Amino acid sequence: MKIQYDNRRALIHVLDCLDESETKQLLAFAAGYEACRKQLQTEEFPDETQKPPVDHS
């Protein structure tokens, strides 16, 4: 897909323009962003097995 290729090409260009410190900061931000995004998805759509049992008494 051309759009994906263009996005990767643009990202490579940006990373080439950054120094090592800036690259590390960007990668740390991206890792934190992904972790937060996954946590939010889990909270919005919890796994069915994580629900407490229903009390029918």
For 17-48, what is each residue's pLDDT tens digit?
999 999 999 989 999 999 888 888 877 666 65
The yes-or-no verdict on residue 16 having pLDDT over 80 is yes
Which has more confidence, 18 or 49?
18
Q: Is the pTM of this model over 0.95?
A: no
Closest CA to 23 of 39, 35, 11, 36: 11
User: Where are the chain's structural domains?
Assistant: 19-44
Beta strands in the chain (DSSP E): none
Q: 3-class SS at 1? A: coil
Identify the pLDDT of residue 32: 92
Q: Output the pLDDT for position 22.
A: 92
